[in-house]
């Protein structure tokens, strides 16, 4: 099952050096999940050939502008391009007022419905559960209410061993039950144990998006064993004081989070505008957690395949 | 005196083909005036090396998103980059509520003041009058309240003829009065008529920005004799029915406006997303008004010098 992440924006606060504010696209089984939506996200989608019409779910971590100022433009373009399928938005409650006000003022009656699901910044909650994925909020620590998002791939059904199925001539009407774990009993009453005719499916992968936050152990347990951990890494560690004041994380701290929570891989982003190049940030992270990558715009990560 | 226009965005409704929503920078005597501010305007400024910190005046024609969705991002970046000088915003009244709501939600206390001046869509009004320029609103016809903006360069003082000043040995303390039109009387009581010792300054230039509007004679008189007329030209004339329904103008109509109002030059923009290339639009305009140019992003027009 596809479980790919494409970076659309990687900078904090203000755009600069061709880096744009936060936005990512998660492709799970060919359905698109947009995570944060800084200004210019729709332009970035055009640039990187991401079809906005395929997005059905939008997740906004918090209401600092660099995480949502592109949302109105995107919603407006979907409307103008003829969307009529509803869209789900997960984010802080004031988002609805912000969206309603601007569409009211422009006398825009959207041709599609927005289904809001307001996030609770205090407790982890399951906010989406469909055939492909379960999504939980991750309460973060950042001045204004802010949550990250944990995407947990659904466990797939067991896989039939083709040769066994063929040799035993198992009728197709048993397949679903067997994939779900049932034994097979043939018409002579012989029992074939499930694990002799199926293989376990792949271990479900998880993607943790830890948007703006202080370094805090409060969310370590929830994000442990992530297949891919994205963690904001606004500053080099020599800017720790500034990180504390602005309630952000240093690269070194992000690497410590990855190490302590046993992440398989770390992705760093939300870079301060003070860094023209990013090599130094990558090196600092790797000194603590070697399997780190930079959130480079336009790059796609096949989660779990690195 | 500098009177230059740089195009930052040229498309209507949705961004596409590397074209962005409406935004222009007018440089009058090295002061920057931002006209409309579609999503991504601050990124376009970075791309074309326009210093956002130098903008003191922002004009928003109306509250369709493609004309202002970049405003919050720009204001936010000015704040984060340390601006403390006030900024003037001219636009429809609900803009204040939209801005206040979003800065309240993010708990942002701007370090600089925003001085609002709400535009009246029903009558032309002078909204700015400083040493360099007088700005009037142009009431347009477009579904929701919408005004264009007319920038009228201030008449400069007369220019001293250096040779005459030198031959007559005119003391410098007379210069200001003479530049303003006074005659010079020397210490023998001989009168030198002003026009014998000065030259008239250049004829003041005007820039008319006619944002979204139907073709309507209602604003013809006000915009007559423009040095440069920007007129929205959303569709080719074979889309006239669509132009009427959406309250926009065709290219041919825009050219007729330029012809009938005696513009010196026409600039067309606000192109529909249906046009991948723009040559056909330019040709249609030129068939009626030869001195037409396309609003190409990144291009600077020296108004009156073409």
Per-residue pLDDT, averaged over A8-25, amounts to 96
Cβ-Cβ contacts under 8 Å between A and B: the total is 100
The residue of chain B nearest to residue A142, with distances taken between CA atoms, is B106
**Catalytic (active site) residue B66:** yes
pLDDT of residue B274 exceeding 70, the answer is yes
Instruction: Give the confidence band of A155 by pLDDT, cuts at 50, 70, 90.
Output: confident
Mean pLDDT of chain B: 96
> What is the pTM for the complete model shown?
0.92
Per-residue pLDDT, averaged over B15-36, amounts to 96
Candidates A14, A21, A43; nearest CB to B15:
A43
pLDDT value of position A61? 98
Q: A104-138, pLDDT tens digit by residue?
A: 999 999 999 999 999 999 999 999 999 999 999 99
User: What topology is assigned to B3-156+202-302 in CATH?
Assistant: Metallo-beta-lactamase; Chain A (3.60.15)
Task: Tell me whether strands B184-185 and B159-160 are parallel, antiparallel or unpaired.
Answer: unpaired
Q: How far is it, in rounded angstroms, from Cα B26 to Cα A244?
A: 41
Contacts of B106 in chain A (CB under 8 A): 63-65, 144
The ipTM value here is 0.91
A213 neighbors A286 (Cβ within 8 angstroms): no
Per-residue pLDDT, averaged over A156-168, amounts to 92
Q: B103-152, pLDDT tens digit by residue?
A: 999 999 999 999 999 999 999 999 999 999 999 999 999 999 999 999 99
Per-residue pLDDT, averaged over B196-215, amounts to 94
Q: A247-292, pLDDT tens digit by residue?
A: 999 999 999 999 999 999 999 999 999 999 999 999 999 999 999 9
pLDDT value of position B306? 59
Contacts of A39 in chain B (CB under 8 A): 39-40, 42-43, 69-70, 73
pLDDT value of position B203? 87
pLDDT of residue A150 exceeding 70, the answer is yes
Nearest to A246 by CA among A93, A148, A144, A147: A144
pLDDT value of position A98? 98
Q: What percent of chain A has a predicted confidence (pLDDT) above 70? A: 100
Cα torsion at A294, A295, A296, A299 (round to 10°)?
Answer: 110
Instruction: Give the confidence band of A306 by pLDDT, cuts at 50, 70, 90.
Output: low
Q: How far is it, in rounded angstroms, from Cα A119 to Cα A53?
A: 24
Q: What does the domain layout of chain A look like in residue ranges?
A: 3-156+202-302, 159-199
Contacts of A14 in chain B (CB under 8 A): 42, 76-77, 80-81
A73 neighbors B65 (Cβ within 8 angstroms): yes
**What is the full DSSP assignment across A120-177?**
-SSS--EEEE-SSEEEEEEE--SSS--EEEEEEEPPPPPEE-HHHHHHHT--GGGHHH
At residue A221, φ and ψ (nearest 5 deg) are -60, -45
pLDDT value of position A156? 85
Instruction: Give the confidence band of B305 by pLDDT, cuts at 50, 70, 90.
Output: confident
Contacts of B98 in chain A (CB under 8 A): 101-102, 105
The nearest CA of chain B is from the CA of A32 a distance in Å of 20
The residue length of chain B stands at 306
Q: What percent of chain B has a predicted confidence (pLDDT) above 70? A: 100
pLDDT value of position A1? 82
Q: How far is CA A126 from CA A25, A199, B34, B50, B201, in A?
A: 20, 29, 45, 45, 71
Q: Which residues of A have a CB under 8 Å from any CB of B?
A: 13-16, 20-21, 39-40, 42-43, 46, 63-66, 69-70, 72-73, 76-77, 80-81, 92, 94, 97-98, 101-102, 105-107, 143-144
Per-residue pLDDT, averaged over A43-64, amounts to 97
Interface test with A, best of B17, B22, B106, B276 (most A CBs within 10 A): B106
- Name the active-site residue from A49, A56, A66, A129: A66
Three-state SS at B94? helix
Q: A213-259, pLDDT tens digit by residue?
A: 999 999 999 999 999 999 999 999 999 999 999 999 999 999 999 99
């Amino acid at each position: 099952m596809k479980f790919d992440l494409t970076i659309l924006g990687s900078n904090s606060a203000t755009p600069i050096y061709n880096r744009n504010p936060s936005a990512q696209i998660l492709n799970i089984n060919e359905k698109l999940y947009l995570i944060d939506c800084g200004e210019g996200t729709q332009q970035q989608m055009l640039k990187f050939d991401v079809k906005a019409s395929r997005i059905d779910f939008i997740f906004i971590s918090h209401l600092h502008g660099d995480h949502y100022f592109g949302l109105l433009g995107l919603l407006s373009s979907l409307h103008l391009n003829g969307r009529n399928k509803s869209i789900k938005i997960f984010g802080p409650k004031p988002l609805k007022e912000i969206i309603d006000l601007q569409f009211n003022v422009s006398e825009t009656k959207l041709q599609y419905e927005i289904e809001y699901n307001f996030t609770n910044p205090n407790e982890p909650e399951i906010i989406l559960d469909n055939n492909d994925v379960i999504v939980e909020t991750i309460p973060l620590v950042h001045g204004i209410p802010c949550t990250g998002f944990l995407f947990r791939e659904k466990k797939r059904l067991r896989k039939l061993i083709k040769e066994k199925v063929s040799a035993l001539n198992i009728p197709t009407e048993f397949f679903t039950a067997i994939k779900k774990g049932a034994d097979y009993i043939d018409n002579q009453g012989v029992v074939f144990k499930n694990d002799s005719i199926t293989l376990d499916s792949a271990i479900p992968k998880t993607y943790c998006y830890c948007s703006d936050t202080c370094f805090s152990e409060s969310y370590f347990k929830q994000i442990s064993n992530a297949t891919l951990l994205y963690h904001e890494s606004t500053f080099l560690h020599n800017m720790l004081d500034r990180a504390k004041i602005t309630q952000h994380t240093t690269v070194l701290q992000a690497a410590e989070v990855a190490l302590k929570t046993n992440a398989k891989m770390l992705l760093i982003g939300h870079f301060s505008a003070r860094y023209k190049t990013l090599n130094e940030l990558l090196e600092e992270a790797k000194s603590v957690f070697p399997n780190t990558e930079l959130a480079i715009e336009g790059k796609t990560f096949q989660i779990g395949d690195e």
